[in-house]
Chain A
Amino acid sequence: MRVFGRRPAFSGGIRLPAHQRREAEATIRQLPFAPRLLLPLRQHAGAASTAVVRAGDEVFRGQLLARADNDSAVPLHAPATGHVLRITEQPDALAGTVQVIELAALAGDTQEYTGGESHDPDRCSADELLAAIHEAGIVGLGGEAGSTHRRLVHARERAVRVLVINGIEGEPGFSRVPAMLARHGADVLAGLRCLRKVLGVERAVLAVETPDGAAARNLLEAAPGGTLPALRVLPPRYPQGAAGLLVRTLAGGAVDGHPAFAADEAVVFSLATVAEVGRMLSGGLAMTDQVITLAGEGLREPGNYRVPLGTPVGFALEQAGMRPEPDRVLAGGPMRGQALAALDRPIVKGATGFVAVAAGETADVPASMPCIRCGECVAACPLELHPAELGFLARRDEWQAMVEDFHLDRCFECGCCAYVCPSHIPLVQMFRTAKAQWRRAQARPAVEAAT
Chain B
Amino acid sequence: MMPASRRLRLVAAPHLHGGRAVPRLMLHSVIALLPVTVFAVVVFGLAALATIVVAILACLLAERAFAPPSALGDGSAMLTGLLLGLSLPPALPLWMVALGGFLAIGVGKHLFGGLGAPVFHPVLVGRVFLQAAFPAAMAQAWVAPLTGARATELPATSLALPFMSPAAPYDGLSGATPLTAVKAGDTGAPLADLWLGTVAGSVGETSALLLLLGGIYLVAMRVIDWRIPVALLATVAVLGAALHGLDAERHPAMLTTLGSGGLMLGAWFLASDPSVSPMTRRGAWIYGLAIGALVVVIRQYSGQAEGVMYALLLGSALTPHIDRWTRPQPLPEGAER
Cross-chain contact B330 with A422 (CB below 8 angstroms): no
Q: Are B13 and A373 in contact (CB under 8 A)?
A: no
* Whole-angstrom CA separation of A337 from B15 in the bound complex: 8
Contact B279 A334 (CB under 8 A): no
Chain A residues within an 8 Å CB radius of B281: 1, 375, 379
Neighbouring A residues of B278 by C-beta, 8 Å: 375
A172→B22 contact, CB < 8 A: no
Q: Is B148 an interface residue (CB 8 A)?
A: no
A338 to B8, CA, bound (A): 12
> A242 near B: Cβ within 8 Å?
yes
The reply to whether A418 and B14 contact each other, CB–CB distance below 8 Å, is yes
Residues of B within 8 Å of A411, CB to CB, are 336
In the complex, identify which listed stretch (A65-73, A77-85, A212-220, A383-391) lies at the interface while the others stay far away: A383-391
User: A376 within 8 Å of B by Cβ?
Assistant: yes
**What's the interface size class on B, roughly?**
35 or more
Residue ID in chain A nearest B327 by CB atoms = A386
Contact A422 B8, beta carbon cutoff 8 Å:
no
| Cβ-defined contact, A335 with B20, below 8 A | no
Given contacts A365-B11, A369-B22, contact A419 B279 (CB under 8 A): no
**Chain B hits for A419, CB < 8 A:** 14, 16-18
**Interface contact A335-B15, CB-CB below 8 Å:** yes
The distance in angstroms between the C-alpha atoms of A263 and B282, with both chains bound, is: 26
Q: B185 near A: Cβ within 8 Å? A: no
Asked if B117 CB lies within 8 Å of chain A CBs, one says yes
Which one of A245, A335, A366, A379 lies within 8 Å of B13 (CB-CB)?
A335
- In angstroms, Cα B10 to Cα A365, docked, is 13
Which A residues lie within 8 Å of B274 (CB)? 372-375
CA distance A424 to B22 in the complex (A): 9
**Cβ of B312 to closest chain A Cβ, rounded Å:** 16
Across-interface contacts of B279 in A (CB, < 8 A) = 373-375, 378, 388
**Assembled-state Cα–Cα distance A371/B274 (Å):** 10
**Does any Cβ of B come within 8 Å of A113's Cβ?**
no
B21 touches A366 (CB 8 A): yes
Most buried by B among A365, A379, A381, A419: A419
A413 within 8 A of B: yes
- Interfacial chain A residues near B225, Cβ < 8 Å: 375
Q: For the complex, give the distance between the alpha carbons of A428 and B15 in Å.
A: 11
Residue of A nearest to B281 (CB): A1
A328 touches B11 (CB 8 A): yes
A339-B8 in contact (CB<8A):
yes
Proximity string of chain A (1-36) to chain B, C-beta cutoff 8 Å, 1 when within and 0 when not: 100000000100010100000000000000000000
Chain B neighbourhood of A369, CB < 8 A = 22, 74, 115-116
- Chain B interface, DSSP helix/strand/loop, else mixed: loop
Bound state CA distance, A332 and B15, in angstroms?
11
In the complex, the chain B residue whose C-beta lies closest to that of A355 is: B15
Asked whether A386 and B328 contact (CB < 8 A) given A340-B8, A428-B13, the answer is yes
Complex CA distance for A355 and B334, rounded to whole angstroms: 29
Q: For A386, give the chain B residue with the smallest CB separation.
A: B328
How many residues of A are counted as interface, with CB atoms below 8 angstroms from the partner's CB atoms? 75
Q: How far apart sit A362 and B16, CA to CA, in the bound complex (Å)?
A: 8
Residues of chain B contacted by A338 (CB below 8 angstroms): 13
- A336's partner among B8, B13, B24, B117 (CB-CB below 8 A) is B13
Question: Which residue in B18, B20, B24, B337 is a CB contact (below 8 Å) of A244?
Answer: B337
Instruction: Determine, out of A116-124, A341-349, A437-445, the stretch whose residues face the partner at the interface.
Output: A341-349
Task: Flag if A420 contacts B13 (CB, 8 Å).
Answer: no
CB distance from A307 to the nearest CB of B (A): 16
Asked if B335 is at the interface of the complex by the 8 Å CB criterion, the answer is: yes
Q: Are B13 and A424 in contact, CB atoms less than 8 angstroms apart?
A: no
How far apart sit A264 and B334, CA to CA, in the bound complex (Å)?
A: 9
Residues of B within 8 A of A343 (CB): 1-2, 6, 8
Q: Given the known inter-chain contacts A372-B115, A375-B278, A407-B330, please indicate yes or no for A422 contacting B22, CB distance below 8 A.
A: yes
A243 part of interface (Cβ distance < 8 Å): yes
* Chain B residues within an 8 Å CB radius of A384: 328-331
Tell me the minimal C-beta distance from A34 to chain B in angstroms: 9
Cβ–Cβ contact A339 & B9, under 8 A: yes
- When chains A and B are docked, how far (Å) is the Cα of A407 from the Cα of B331? 10
CB distance from B192 to the nearest CB of A (A): 33
Contact A429 B336 (CB under 8 A): no
Q: A370-B115, A386-B327 are in contact. List 6 more A-B contacts (CB 8 A).
A: A144-B337, A248-B331, A325-B6, A335-B14, A344-B1, A384-B331
A residues in contact (CB < 8 Å) with B: 1, 10, 14, 16, 144, 172, 242-245, 248, 263-264, 312, 314-315, 325-330, 332, 334-344, 355, 357, 362-363, 365-366, 369-376, 378-379, 381-386, 388-389, 407, 410-413, 415, 418-424, 426, 428-429, 432
Give B contacts to A, CB under 8 Å: 1-2, 6, 8-18, 20-22, 24-25, 74, 114-117, 225, 227, 274-275, 277-282, 327-331, 333-337
